Amino acid sequence: MAVGLTYATSQTLVRMRLAAFRHALKDQNRLSWIGTGAFAGVVLAGGTIWVAAKGDLDVLVVALAVWMLGWIVGPMFAGGGDETLKPEYFSMLPLTPRTLSAGLLTAALAGVAPIISLLALLSLVVLGTQLSVAATLIALPAVVLQLLCFVLASRLAVAVYGVLLQVRSGAVLAAIVNAFILAFTAQGWALIVAFVSTDVQGTMASGARVAPSGWGLVAVEAAGRGDWLRVLLALAGLAVLAVVMFVGWSALLVRRTTASRTGRKPRRLLTATGPRDAAAAKEIRSWTRDLLYGHRAVFAISYGLFFCLMPLAIGWKGMLPWAGPAALVMAGSMASNLYGSDGTALWTTLMTPGSAGPDVRARQRAFLLVFGPPTLLITLLLTWWSGSSSAWPLVLSVLPALLGGAAGLVVACSVFAAVPTTDAHKRSGNPLNSGENESETMGIVWVMLILVSLTAGPALGAALAWSWWGVAVGVASGVLAWWYLGRLAAVRLDQRGPELLTLLRHGRSTTEQAKKAAVLDQLPRWRRTLANYCLGFGAIPLFPQAVVPAVFILTNNTDTKSWFLALHLEPQWHWPVIIAMAVLGLSMYTYGGLTYLNAKKKVAASST
């Protein structure tokens, strides 16, 4: 009876999941994101199979570890993963936790990501065919168990992360861990070089074989040489791990769907005497009391620290002065949807006459108070620690420019390009999931990373050209950006506040969706895909391959070459390569932006 109910539940949830996926494909924007991700995944899966065909087992086991790490970490940076079917939807149904968990797990396997991971895991079968018939047969259950562990590890990680975000200390811990993982993807090379002396690949491969992601490969290898005890231990280990993760996930789902969330009595009432002070106090308390706000603040600062401290592992202090600016860039991108995070609570502001200006300035003041002091302290201490006298005018010029630029951009972006999210009082047990517009939210975050970085351009150029005069330029540009962008946001909120509230309450109207679809219909699919690639990957040649090595060369920090192409070449080729990369990055952004701008103009012209 129980087995039949579980099967019927799983079948129903799979049909629901596939129906939702077919509906998502009707949205051209989401279709583009899905297609881009699927293409990249297939390419990576093909590379994994190619490594297996070559018989390079050390590289293969490390690649499988990266796949499993992507399953665990990826959802934390993509709004909690795909939760089309939320557990809360089924809390009133007479289903046991195990039945519901089994159904949700089965539905989770019916997606693009599991199929691509299955393609990558077929590398075990390719490896088995090179060893023996027995190894090929063992590879089949190993692939199934390994894929099951991938998906369960992802679900369990998101569930644990959601529990941590329910309490302040957990939100802080989760932010620090998240920041370390993201920084490691960019700067982990330093830790690897430091702690692995000569045999980098061999040592990483040994560690990857011990990790659960390598147990399937261990079973296939052991079957190839006839070590059946090791085969049994590896496969049994995967099966037991899957069961343990399934039981743990089921328990957390029960907690998520049954835990009551009661309000708390305010610890201290607002004592402001005017609208400006009241709005500022309210915003400060949002950053200190809303766990998601606090999580993002800690994440931004921790990321800046980890990103610039990791090279210390190899004794390189050149990145230390830039921890504060890096934290500000990340903070600006994480706070790019302030009004969208408010949701329908915006009506309390709109119902108060003349509140648009004070509210916008209050959000800017709160941003400055939350991120200004810590980033300034970090910059002063780490620049002093680095011992680089040439870095002082650079970082002290860039810091005020970024601080003012970010404070202006966060309010302007959140008013002009707000993305509807789930209201705070309606958040599910997975705080990472903020609604149905995750791809749009992530797009705004990536754009803000670029825009906030660009606000430091005049100050950095002035500091490189005139040294300490760059500080004055940085302060002036920061103040100008803070004032002008804040004024634009206040005027927009005052004039179009009701439309913004409607957007946050009901989502985009049918007319807006039709206009958006019309813009996309103006473009051939190949051109739209190319424009998306240009906008998505233009930052790679522009920043890490042009801006960063240019700063390193100008500050005489060329010892650590990392993945900066120009620094691996002869000195006479440094600047030509940097200029070429900068032109390439700017050209990619120009092409992508003009493609959509021209399509939008054609739609506007045809409608008139």
pLDDT at 510: 56
- Please check whether residue 450 is in contact with residue 535, taking contact to mean a CB–CB distance below 8 angstroms: no
**Per-domain residue ranges for the chain?**
2-258, 284-508, 520-608
- Per-residue pLDDT tens for 80-91? 556 667 777 777
Eight-class DSSP state of 290: S
User: In the structure, what pLDDT confidence band is assigned to residue 197 with cuts at 50, 70 and 90?
Assistant: very low
Helices 57-73 and 112-131, axial angle in degrees (round to 10): 160
For residues 192 and 552, which has the higher predicted lDDT (pLDDT)? 552
pLDDT at 434 over 70: no
Residue 32: count other Cβ atoms within 10 Å of its Cβ. Answer: 19
Q: Which tens digits make up the pLDDT trace of 290-302?
A: 777 888 888 899 9
- Average pLDDT over every residue of 351-376: 88
What is the rounded average pLDDT of the residues 252-281?
65
pLDDT tier for residue 375 given thresholds of 50, 70 and 90: very high
Compute the distance between CA of residue 513 and CA of residue 337 in angstroms, rounded to an integer.
20
In this structure, of 60-64, 138-142, 545-549, the range with the lowest mean pLDDT score is: 545-549
Q: Share the mean pLDDT of the chain.
A: 79
pLDDT at residue 142 in the model? 93
CB 349 within 8 A of CB 359: yes
For 456-510, what is each residue's pLDDT tens digit?
Answer: 889 988 988 888 888 999 999 999 999 999 999 999 988 888 888 887 776 665 5
What value does the mean pLDDT take over residues 214-234?
90
608, with CB counted inside 10 A (0-12, 13-18, 19+), is exposed
pLDDT band at 170 (very low <50, low <70, confident <90, very high): low
Distances (CA, A) of 364 to 49, 314, 353, 483, 574: 50, 39, 20, 10, 40
Give the angle 325-330-334 at the CA atoms, nearest 5°: 145
Mean pLDDT score, 423-445: 60
Taken in order 4, 249, 156, 219, is the CA torsion positive or negative? Answer: negative
Give per-residue pLDDT as tens, 559-587: 656 566 777 777 788 888 888 888 888 88
Report whether 566 contacts 545 (CB < 8 A).
Answer: yes
The gap from C-alpha 12 to its chain's centroid, in whole angstroms, comes to 31
DSSP 411-439: HHHHHHS------GGG--S-TT---S-HH
Is the predicted pLDDT of residue 259 greater than 60, yes or no? no
Amino acid at 452: V
pLDDT at 572: 81
Instruction: Band the pLDDT of 440: cuts 50, 70, 90.
Output: low
Alpha carbons 497 and 503: distance in angstroms, whole number = 10
| Residue among 78, 89, 88, 83 at smallest CA distance from 111 | 83
pLDDT digit string, tens, across residues 302-324: 999 988 888 887 777 878 898 99
